[in-house]
Amino acid sequence: MLYSSERPGISAAALARACGVTPPTMNTVLKNLQERGLIQRTPHEWHRNVLEIRLTDEGHAVMAIADARAVSVERALADEFTDEERATLVGLLQRCAALLDSVRPD
């Protein structure tokens, strides 16, 4: 959910598009986060049928912990490879991502 912390007030539909998941999937994720008190969903000021998503104080705290853990994992993985191996891996993953983007249904 990093994206919602970077874009407070984003809608569920926009967040689903950004994450590459379906709106029903995103709504399930958001419902779970809301039940845990990590996000708030409030009606948009002008478009009352659009719910804006914002992290709660607890959500920001959980996000900070998750970010720190992700950095730790990334550093540990980076330490396992030489510079050349990392460059090769990044190139291979970029090719995978490009292929997946090219076959993604609209």
- For residue range 19-71, list pLDDT tens digits in order: 889 999 999 999 999 999 999 988 877 766 778 889 999 999 999 999 999 99
What residue type is 2 in one-letter code?
A: L
Per-residue pLDDT at 101 = 86
Per-residue pLDDT at 2 = 45
CA distance 8 to 52: 8
Q: Global pTM?
A: 0.68
Task: Please report, rounded to a whole number, the percentage of residues in the chain having pLDDT higher than 70.
Answer: 90
Strand partners, 54: 40
CA distance 44 to 48: 5
Q: Which residue has the tokens 């900070």?
A: 64
